[in-house]
Amino acid sequence: MAKLRRRHLLVINEYMKNGGRKKEAMLKAGYAAHSIDNNTNQVFQHPDVLKEIDRREAKEVERSGVTVAWITERLKLQADAPRILAKFKIIGDDGELFWDFTGATEDELGVILGLSTEIFKDGKGDGSRDIKKFKIDVANPMPALNALARHLNMFKEDNAVRGEVSLIDRLQQGRQRMNKENADAKG
């Protein structure tokens, strides 16, 4: 690997600090705001910059112990939270629903974001009784399912531009189309 330019090292350092925000890293590394749009791809597509970012990210993954498998397992738990917690729902003899987490594992309890209780009176006077209502908050499973599906490349969206039409040709075709539409609207 060739020696990285000082400015590229500054960009990489800022990029790693800020969680991967390219434009912010470019600004902090001293690039002028008006030049960032033109230079971002050039800097971040430079082979030596890509290799250094990959090297640092691999080192961080190793240091943290966070792997793709680790994240995937947690996303699966989050996506499956309603099913995981279903076995802890109990219907009492009086027909009321309550929760019993006896024997729950750490992973099962980990899908719970919040637990609250509300006590209110049912009825009036001496015949009233206290009702305790539990509320369990779990994460919405859809973001976890979407993240898993994206990771597994299950969404086969293809936004690639096909053909050999240059940007200039496309702009000219667009202008011709607009001129025709304007002429049709007037005529």
Residue 94 has pLDDT above 60, yes or no: yes
Tell whether 177 is covered by a domain. no
Tell whether 113 is covered by a domain. yes
pLDDT value at residue 27? 92
Residue 39 has pLDDT above 80, yes or no: yes
Q: How far is it, in rounded angstroms, from Cα 83 to Cα 105?
A: 14
In the block, which residue shows the tokens 């609207």? 185
In the block, which residue shows the tokens 């994460």? 139
pLDDT value at residue 163? 61
Tokens at residue 113, please? 């974001």
Reported residue count of the chain is: 187
Average pLDDT over residues 71-95: 87
Tell whether 112 is covered by a domain. yes
Tell whether 98 is covered by a domain. yes
Q: Supply the pTM of this predicted model.
A: 0.49
Tell whether 61 is covered by a domain. yes
Tell whether 168 is covered by a domain. no
Tell whether 58 is covered by a domain. yes
**pLDDT digit string (tens) for 97-117?**
888 999 999 988 988 888 888
HEC profile of 124-165: CHHHCEEEEEEEEEECCHHHHHHHHHHHCCCCCCCCCCCCCC
